[in-house]
Structure 1
Amino acid sequence: MFASANKLLMHNRVFAWLAVVTGALLLIPLIAMQFTAEVNWDATDFIVMGALIFGAGSLFVLIARQVREKHRLLVALLVAAAFLYVWAELAVGIFTDWGS
């Protein structure tokens, strides 16, 4: 299992998969907008969230290629924490007024 994941991580086609996953995740709010008025995203929201998701995934891949396999979980946790922090700041502005 890990050998195939390691093999994919080392090839540049992982970025194509990241783009596909990013697009699939962005379909969630797009579909939700068709059924409820509670979700109201504009083009800027989709662009920012797409860049955030793709950027976090790309950052993980680029860093994971440089560190040993036993440290990849730590890298994943750090990238996930940074992603969640930026997402929360953009959504509600916990410490800053980025989302306002």
Structure 2
Amino acid sequence: MTTQNKRLMGIVLAVVLILSIPLIAMQFTDEVDWKLFDFVIMGFLLFGTGLLCELVIRKVKHTDYRLGIIAVILIALFLIWAELAVGIFGTPFAES
């Protein structure tokens, strides 16, 4: 297995591991109430972010540019996640 395939497998496993956290929490508490749509959206966001970071790692050769682009991608992920979770910007996406 090549290094690139190992990284792609790592992305998939990381997404599954991260999504298993709310799934397991739902078994023990009513505080976590995710629907199927929530898992699909978060899976899409996490997998898409992982693939974008992988694309940057493969295509951008200059280390400083690579780190900067990945930082912007991760900041965008966290802002979208926060908006969907609690509606910090008040967009219609958060239903707030």
Structure 1-normalised TM-score?
A: 0.82
Q: 2:87 maps to what in 1?
A: 93
Percent of paired sites with the same residue: 42
Shift of 1:41: 0.5
Aligned residues: 92
Once superposed, what is the RMSD of the aligned Cα atoms?
A: 1.6
Q: Which residue of 69, 75, 79 corresponds with 1:75?
A: 69
Alignment of 1:1-100 (within 5 A): 8=3, 11-71=4-64, 72-95=66-89, 96-100=91-95
Q: TM-score, normalised by structure 2?
A: 0.85
Quick one: which amino acid aligns to residue 23 of structure 1?
V
**Which runs of no fewer than 5 residues in structure 2 stay unpaired?**
none
Structure 1 portions without partners, runs of 5+: 1-6
Regions of 4+ moved over 6 Å: none
8 A Cα contact 2:56 2:70, kept in partner: no
- Taking the aligned partners of 1:81 and 1:66, their CA distance within structure 2 comes to 20
Whole-angstrom CA distance in 2 between matches of 1:12 and 1:99: 35
